[in-house]
Amino acid sequence: GAVVSQHPSWVICKSGTSVKIECRSLDFQATTMFWYRQFPKQSLMLMATSNEGSKATYEQGVEKDKFLINHASLTLSTLTVTSAHPEDSSFYICSARVPGGASGGTEQFFGPGTRLTVL
């Protein structure tokens, strides 16, 4: 399957600082990427849809000024958690939609995730 990478795999930061997480599609171009948040022993919660060259679409209840998303190229989307606080500690996972393909462009492949811990 298609390969999606994330960097960093984990990060620890102090409260009030900003953290940037990168999501890359390694062997395909992704016009659409998605950002999810997952708390321990829970399911994935979609935060936003990132479209190359346009503004991200945020899900209800997700603060767009706190979670800044940039999708400047067909292979890179970034999520910046601004002024992070302990309650932002979570596992952040991105996915990329594979255009075309056997499932008509609906397949999503996920990155390995980024564990954010805010002290």
Partner 1 sequence: GENVEQHPSTLSVQEGDSAVIKCTYSDSASNYFPWYKQELGKGPQLIIDIRSNVGEKKDQRIAVTLNKTAKHFSLHITETQPEDSAVYFCAASKHNDYKLSFGAGTTVTVRA
Q: Which DSSP string do the residues of 97-110 spell out, in sequence order?
A: E-SSTTTTT--EEE
Q: Does 115 bind partner 1 (CB under 8 A)?
A: yes
10 Å Cβ neighbour count for 41?
Answer: 5
Identified binder of partner 1 from the candidate list 28, 34, 35, 67, rule CB under 8 A: 34
Of the ranges 11-19, 69-77, 81-89, 109-117, which one interacts with partner 1 (CB under 8 A)?
A: 109-117
Of 70 and 109, CB closest to partner 1 = 109
Q: Does 69 bind partner 1 (CB under 8 A)?
A: no
Q: Are the CB atoms for 73 and 52 separated by under 8 Å?
A: yes
